[in-house]
Chain A
Amino acid sequence: MKKKIGLIINPIAGLGGKSGFKGTDNIEIKNQALKMGYSSESISKTRYVFENILSLFNKFEIITCPGEMGEEAIKNLDINYKLFEQTFKKNTTSKDTKKAVKELLKENIDLLIFAGGDGTAKDIYEIVKDEILCIGIPTGVKIQSAVYAKSPKLASEIISRFILNKTYSTELREVMDIDEEEYRNERIKSKLYGYLKILFDKKYVQNIKAGSISSKEDQKLIAHEIINLLDQNIIYIVGGGSTTKQIFNELKLEKTLIGVDLIQNKKILLKDVNEKQILEKIKNNKAKIIVTIIGNQGYIFGRGNQQISAKVIRKIGKENIYIVATKKKILNLKGEPLLVDSGDPELDKELSGYVKVITGQGERLVCKVGVEE
């Protein structure tokens, strides 16, 4: 059966880079960049991806938008494509991306390919959540989200494996973008918006020869390790993410993916709590924290788990924090230190140094926690 693939391009992502601006979220910057004569890298990079998989033309069909947000990148290539009727004006915005995604959702697509940066990923996430398999072609300036293939070339490799039904895998990966609220207060800070279901190259299948296992298996081992460490009556404050979610899965509990839950004696104590609720619950009870690392970024605190505030961390103490992560996630940081942004610079300093990250049963990686400059 032919694969139905949706395609959405943010034609202005990446413009900011070469023109010296940081991102094109601001319409003025975008126009200036265009005026300076910079053309869309998104379109050329997407075209390059499809040029690489032309030989598979009879095995897939593309559904996309007319014009710059899709068609432009694939027209005149030997590819079957279908356009939906919605047309977009020249200066596309975040609203247009969302509108286009909604159109694509009506088409029962097998995979959604999108080209852009963090803003694009966020727009897509807001509509599809983790319901559709996606893969990003990186064309944005400074990408923090973990939802993009490493290079356009590697995006085409992964997509071709998918089209050929060869081994591929899926993983929930972080969508990060600038925190709009902080930005309005003239502070630049990233924020975890959610998780997209991402297609990725099952490199580990090849690594099987070297005895590796998948991230999913790693997450199960981590969950077992944590469950063995759970003590009676202690309240566990558990941050979001797919690794901590696996702990809940093993305990047959429901986890809030982007949010903090409290458990006690292997049962839910309170779901999706805020700082106040945490402080209230731990006032007279011993508690420990379980958090994971944000992919590609390395944050332990301050992204997606602000509920576990400086106050909470101080009350609980450094020695009562369990950090869990798959080895793959740590290696993807490429030696960059883990980060904390608790909102209290003094505490951040205290939390820096070296920590043991639980990566499996009886397995700990010693990682550096840095202080953000």
Chain B
Amino acid sequence: MNRPKLRKYQAHKWDEPLLMELSTSGERGIHVIKAEKEIKELIGDIKDLIPEKIVREKKPNLPELSQPQVLRHYLHLSQMVLGTDVTIDIGLGTCTMKYSPKIHEQIAASSKLTEIHPNQNEETIQGILEILYKFGEIIKEISGMDAVSFQPGSGAQSIFLNTSMMRAYHEKNKDPSRKEIITTMFSHPTNAACPATAGYDVLTLMPEENGLPSLEALKEMVSENTAGLLITNPEDTGIFNPKIKEFVDTVHNAGGLCIYDQANANGILGKFRARDIGFDMCHFNLHKTFSSPHGSMGPACGVVACTKEIAKFLPSPIITFDGDKYKLDYNRPDSVGKIKGFFGNIGVVLRAYSWVMSLGAKGLKEVAEISVLNNNYLEKLLKKIKGVSVPYKTDKKRLDQIRFSWEKMTDDTGVGSYDVERRMTDFGLQSYWTSHYPWIVPEPFTPEPCESYSLRDIEYFASVMEQISKEAYENPELVKTSPHNSPISRIDESVMLDASKTALTYKQYLRKKGKENEKT
């Protein structure tokens, strides 16, 4: 490996007040022009347009600021943090961070998209309906499924939708007593949380020595109570479950359905299809695998795909094509209903469509191949670092990501994964992702070097980890008191447990500070 020179990062530091505290009564960002006489006569008083039951009794307490003030405020905040385009995002594993080409932003910002309204007559939005329909066809090809919906606004919402469709399926089949869902410890935790929210009991299979859930355990757990299996593959460990077909068959034989969480499909894109091994439903996070800015940097969209047996339960509307016109079909009596307004976040669909069209089928396979190659190179580099280990023995290569452990270093030096996470920002790297809860791998970290990172990026990431390990063994305090170049170093995290010290709204904040009467 070429040891790249480690960069030094220094964030700006502003003593930035809250937006509410910057407010000056009477200041305005824009003056809304008065409606012209003719419009007024036609529409009437604007106040009469608002239904009485939702009219506010009192004006809301909103901050009053000019445009430059607002701009300064948010730019100050942005100067104090690392963002996706100024750093290497390799550390944020399971999030599938990749470069999202700027041209797609321009396409999504086109007035052809931004100026249409979902309540427009479908005759007048044939263009976007065509894109939604055609991208649906592409997703069917990628998953092997028969029907799709772009409605969910996130991966979790996709899983919740799939769970709801599973419930509708069992109810339709007069089999509603199936109350148990089976998932695995290393599947994304929403695979447990969504069915729990939907009222199911959730059985979670633990990983065995090889890091994989046991087929024997599954066989002992399935019964006439089994509603279905929700599973990720490869799981967070990056290990592909070679017995996945047996898992699916076991659940099917017990009368349950199988739902494949493919939120992150980067390692298997074009290589492995959910339907081909018998899954009934799956979903992809378009904002992850299919490239859209995400993680508080943009809206999300989860596309759900299912077999024709499940299709009637999809949310309405679905988009149909009669060879001439694209139509919205709302007449679907078995639909589970809406999971989000209108057709979903179509800006994300448009970006994803652009991404796929620019790559083509061959390109999608290449995405998977480079991701896996990148990950195996990173593993080779990280394994050499003192204090790093790769839990679970497998004879196969990992796919797109790996959950590593700093356990040895923590036992030796007291420097844990959260300390490393903070120290890395001093070298200009965004904090990495440790692990989903619970921490089954001690002191974990989960990098995921997707296809858009270069050899140099990967080596830079590994060099920073190597440097921090060296520091931990030589001067642990340096790491434990980091970050040193950020506007805020460490906060007392115990306040997070103390409801009297946290506030979700400005009103709460004033009340808890005892300033209630100063400003309401």
Contact = CB atoms under 8 A, between A and B. Distances in A.
A21 B413 CA distance: 29
Contacts of A150: 411
A26 interface: no
B473 to A, nearest CB: 12
B414 interface: yes
Interface stretch (B4-12, B206-214, B293-301): B206-214
Interface residues of B, number: 39
Interface string B417-429: 0100000000000
Given A210-B437, A366-B217, A367-B206, A154 B411 contact: yes
A330 to B, nearest CB: 8
Given A362-B196, A364-B201, A206 B438 contact: no
B40 to A, nearest CB: 51
B217 A331 contact: no
Given A154-B411, A156-B414, A366-B221, A205 B203 contact: no
Contact of B204 (A153, A205, A335, A365): A365
A331 B209 CA distance: 13
B434 A210 contact: yes
B513 to A, nearest CB: 22
B417 to A, nearest CB: 9
A209 B206 CA distance: 23
Nearest to A326: B438
Contact of A208 (B217, B220, B434, B493): B493
Given A208-B497, A356-B221, A366-B203, A328 B438 contact: yes
A217 to B, nearest CB: 10
Nearest to A152: B411
A157 B413 CA distance: 10
A212 B202 contact: no
Interface string A135-175: 00000000000000011011011000000001100000000
Contacts of B200: 362
A366 B207 contact: no
Interface in B476-513: 492-494, 496-497
B410 interface: yes
Nearest to A206: B418
B328 interface: no
B414 A157 contact: yes
B496 A208 contact: yes
Contacts of A153: 411-414
Contacts of A331: 438-440
Interface string A330-366: 1100010000000000000000011010000011111
Contacts of A311: none
Nearest to B199: A362
Interface in B364-390: none
Contacts of A202: 494
Contacts of A167: 492-494, 497
Contacts of B202: 362-364
B436 interface: yes
B154 interface: no
Interface string B163-187: 0000000000000000000100100
A205 B413 contact: no
Of the candidates B418, B435, B439, the one having the most CB atoms from chain A within 10 angstroms of its own CB is: B439
Contacts of A205: 493-494, 496-497
B438 A327 contact: yes
A205 B196 CA distance: 24
A354 B204 contact: no
Contacts of B221: 354, 356, 366
B319 interface: no
B69 to A, nearest CB: 32
B201 A362 contact: yes
B435 A210 contact: yes
Nearest to A214: B497
A56 B208 CA distance: 43
B206 A366 contact: yes
- What 3 pairs across the A-B complex have the smallest Cβ distances? A167-B494, A210-B437, A354-B220
Given A335-B209, A356-B221, A365-B204, 5 more contacts: A202-B494, A208-B496, A356-B203, A363-B204, A367-B206
20 contacts: A151-B412, A154-B410, A157-B414, A202-B494, A205-B494, A207-B437, A207-B439, A208-B496, A210-B439, A212-B437, A331-B439, A354-B221, A362-B202, A364-B202, A365-B203, A365-B206, A366-B182, A366-B204, A366-B217, A368-B208
